[in-house]
Structure 1
């Protein structure tokens, strides 16, 4: 079955998470992705473990399925020539080198479009191509700190806290995939490629969404609220008789039903709680009322009652519990793929569900350089030329 991006070839010169995550999405959608690393493998995440399976780290496995892999020394003239031949036959080049690296190698966008005027070039950096920080390296943790995200995450007791996953990298990978697909669509009209400048800082600031907007509108600096919501009450975890659960009451109608389920319906129409703005003003009093009542039943009992009334609520799962959830199982979010050194490997599947061109896991996360011979043969290199390049450490 053909994927939505069937016929698109992507050269992935990136490593770690944001770039590989982007190209994995494109690969899931049917693009042919060729992962390019230095000889021996230069993606740092190959060594970010334990855990490992079959010599590959779990971190590397999470972002590199549906790709072929070659090794290429771009510091050599021969390596650059191989890359240029690949560029001539590709649609997209994605890289996340420090600013100036591609220029130093004579492979900046101006040179790329001389080789292939239709090429879409995507550059991922920490801070973008301009501005006083453009030469600084950017890791997810630093971006979470600088973007303001950590200032609103955690509680007053915990202090600034990062999100438990490299969320700035993930947002950047998603924005990159969107930008690349938009540029490919525009190319259908103009016949020309273009260069895309994506930064982790820009992406994370964009993803602050309502929190950033709250500040721009009010001038009030957002504070850490722990698990509470800055604009909606009640919208947080509550203790129950046997643990905790999450409740998200999004409007006044839901609030009325929620209070009815709790047996506190007399408070639903009180002026201090009747509307969301009033609930925000009287947050502390309301949360105390709800908390005391929630402690009287188990999480399961409350969940059953709340879900019957259409009130958003859910358990606070561990990762193990999440993967055992019947909804997650029904959505087939775990995919199993054969791997040459690790046997069967389980991966998190794509959340993209297209009716005619569904995503598929057709390739395992590749070993370093696993497809070098195969790819080079496709662009015209003979066996003897490939062997000579191995001897010269070009590949």
Structure 2
């Protein structure tokens, strides 16, 4: 870890309180783009790490052009997408294809604790700054490599996107309506899950490095990450030979446990246990309805596919069809698992989301306020910092190279003239 004085200077440079955060003092060099990687390093930044985002001066992270775009006072535009996944970072530019750019990265890595990269395996090695080279410079370095298929295996060299992971990790084949074509999960779950597993791997490796002084490679595959999100599909296949198929909103065997139509939309209802089924019958049914059908008292009976389709589901549909989402939540939400299916506008304005500080406001000079998601990690002593801004391209290049890499101003200027570095303005 860096010393207290340097930590304070870097924290001040990023507009943060140097004393905040469980990972205060941890330096992360972030050589990533898009989401699988930037989100990983952003979570580390939220937890207090000093994260230095490295971008090519002529080919920056192309999510800087992704919508939605915020318009600035001077006519400039800023991507809300980029800002959401890169808050709390220091922005540095380096052309890693230049020998001096690679050498400069090595000087940063010598002072760092973690490197995060998400190139296709072999790319960093071809630049001369792969794991084996960087561990020689810094033996305690934690090197997190996020990729589509991991650092080894027959697919490792293949290009990949989130959809590649959903396709090859099994999730795509399971999603969609019964008897319909498979449908991708409606978010970049491969990117996001790989990023979160990357955080877990980094934290575990940091713990080991602190104890022993020994760094290690953290190898995260999007395909691997997606596979672990398939719930019971793997063991259903290995134990019973069953191949998971699209089920729409239903669970493979738990019933009732799906979305049901109501007067103004849909609600999720999960009253499948004996306790919740009895409560639901008393709340929604006619007097004596629970006693009139003892054949549905046992959970195993309600799980039977035919019984559920012919007897249970029609009952639940009758309960909900003439009530609104709000009426149903107010009547039963505190007693049984029943939740309105909310669109993102309703979620952003949800009072519980507000109480949990899950929508945060960040001010950007000249652009106004960006509202983005906060952190689901709640720590009562070292809470995550979630209102920091994302950096302009190369915004902190000169100061980071001076303070962390120990470069003199004339050396920094020479790198700028050669095109190895650049910065906004």
Q: Same fold (TM over 0.5)?
A: yes
* Rounded Cα–Cα distance in structure 1 between residues aligned with 2:264 and 2:118: 47
Aligned ranges for residues 279-290 of structure 1 at < 5 Å? 279-281=302-304, 282-285=307-310, 286-290=312-316
* Cα offset, 1:175, TM superposition: 0.2
Q: Secondary structure at the match of 1:69?
A: strand
Confirm whether residue 49 of structure 1 aligns to residue 67 of structure 2. yes
| Range moving further from structure 2, 156-165 or 268-277 | 268-277
User: 1:46-73, CA deviations, whole angstroms, 9 ceiling, x for partnerless residues?
Assistant: 1222444442222212210010010001
Q: Which runs of 5+ in 2 are unaligned?
A: 1-18
Confirm whether residue 277 of structure 1 aligns to residue 303 of structure 2. no
* Rounded Cα–Cα distance in structure 2 between residues aligned with 1:312 and 1:230: 18
* Cα offset, 1:133, TM superposition: 0.9
* Cα offset, 1:384, TM superposition: 2.1
Tell me which residue corresponds to 1:293.
319
Confirm whether residue 102 of structure 1 aligns to residue 124 of structure 2. yes
**Counterpart contact for 1:255–1:268, Cα < 8 Å:** no
Confirm whether residue 180 of structure 1 aligns to residue 202 of structure 2. yes
* Cα offset, 1:103, TM superposition: 1.2
| Range moving further from structure 2, 328-337 or 197-206 | 328-337
The TM-score, its normalising length taken from structure 1, stands at 0.95
* Cα offset, 1:156, TM superposition: 2.8
Let me know the Cα RMSD of the aligned residues. Answer: 1.8
* Rounded Cα–Cα distance in structure 2 between residues aligned with 1:41 and 1:224: 40
* Rounded Cα–Cα distance in structure 2 between residues aligned with 1:103 and 1:168: 25
Tell me which residue corresponds to 2:145.
123
* Cα offset, 1:292, TM superposition: 2.4
Tell me which residue corresponds to 1:74.
96
**Counterpart contact for 1:10–1:34, Cα < 8 Å:** yes
Confirm whether residue 332 of structure 1 aligns to residue 350 of structure 2. no
1:95–1:242 distance in 2 versus 1, CA, 3 Å: closer
Aligned ranges for residues 120-269 of structure 1 at < 5 Å? 120-156=142-178, 158-263=180-285, 266-267=289-290
Tell me which residue corresponds to 1:376.
401
Tell me which residue corresponds to 1:111.
133
* Cα offset, 1:29, TM superposition: 0.3
The TM-score, its normalising length taken from structure 2, stands at 0.88
| Range moving further from structure 2, 221-230 or 259-268 | 259-268
**Counterpart contact for 1:94–1:123, Cα < 8 Å:** yes
**Counterpart contact for 2:114–2:144, Cα < 8 Å:** yes
Of 392, 395, 399, the residue aligned with 1:367 is 392
1:41–1:131 distance in 2 versus 1, CA, 3 Å: same
Aligned residues between the structures: 394
* Rounded Cα–Cα distance in structure 2 between residues aligned with 1:287 and 1:294: 11
Tell me which residue corresponds to 1:37.
55
* Rounded Cα–Cα distance in structure 2 between residues aligned with 1:182 and 1:92: 12
1:391–1:351 distance in 2 versus 1, CA, 3 Å: same
| Range moving further from structure 2, 337-346 or 123-132 | 337-346
